[in-house]
Amino acid sequence: MSNSRGIQFSIGTLLLAFTFLLGGCCALETQRSLEHAKQLAQKQDYTAITAMKVSCEESCDGCNQLHLLKGDACYRLAKQGQEPVKNYSCAATELTTGIQQTKQWQMETFNLNRPQNYENLCESLRNWRDLSKGSEADAIDARLLQTAQEFRSAEPGNACATYFLNNARYAQLHSCLLHPDKCPSLCADLQAMLEQLNDAAPTASGSHCEPNIQEIKKEVAKAKELMSCR
């Protein structure tokens, strides 16, 4: 019995040591990749960052930042017109993963800027949707709606979150605008959107989101008028 216990203890100790060793290797490799990605970002070599394979485990320290950096690089390339469908898709995937993995946004030495990452994610989904058609566009819009809701929940009062939320909702009403008889709540939906946008207008004033808020307000108001809503 004593020998058996000794063997069990030895195996358990070895497994524990092996686990710590794997964790150390994971952290070391991830930190190396993260430093490399940061250096590439400083050089604005976004193509090289997008070519990096981010396969670290969520538990590895810095893995979230790697996903955020790659998502940002894909987003920047897409905004520059470089393979927009591919890069907006990449940005959406990587930024979603990075945001989900990030538990601490404000650190002692730097701020990971949660609202900006959410905004870039929503913008990627919006543009990717607009470049897509049919059921694929509908699926992307559903992702945009969910993400915008999460954005608004994480950053209450953020005007950009309100814009993306109502942009996604308005896109879902397109079929109703063509066939209003099939959507009895259409006028109520448009009114609710208009009220949200009006509430967000003061916060948006003077910000980069103000033109977007004003544009969609006009579209919703026009739709409400065309539908003869009271």
Domain ranges of the chain: 17-101+112-155, 173-230
Structure token pair of residue 71:
């998502």
Q: What is the pLDDT of residue 171?
A: 97
Measured distance CA(201)–CA(214) in Å, rounded? 8
Measured distance CA(112)–CA(106) in Å, rounded? 6
The helix/strand count (H/E) of the chain reads as 10, 0
CB atoms inside a 10 Å sphere around CB 219? 16
Measured distance CA(85)–CA(103) in Å, rounded? 29
Question: Among residues 27, 26, 51, which one has the least CA distance to residue 37?
Answer: 51
Q: What is the pLDDT of residue 2?
A: 39
Measured distance CA(229)–CA(34) in Å, rounded? 54
Structure token pair of residue 200:
């967000």
For every residue of 104-134, DSSP letters joined together read --B-SS-B--HHHHHHHHHHHHHHHHHT--H
Q: What is the pLDDT of residue 230?
A: 84
- DSSP character at residue 181: G
CA distances from 154 to 70, 105, 167, 194, 213 (A): 22, 12, 18, 22, 19
Measured distance CA(32)–CA(39) in Å, rounded? 11
Task: Give the pLDDT of the chain (230 residues) as one tens digit per residue.
Answer: 434 343 343 544 444 433 434 444 577 889 999 999 999 999 999 999 999 999 999 999 999 999 999 999 999 999 999 999 999 999 999 999 999 999 999 977 779 999 999 999 999 999 999 999 999 999 999 999 999 999 999 999 999 999 999 999 999 999 999 999 999 999 999 999 999 999 999 999 999 999 999 999 999 999 999 999 98
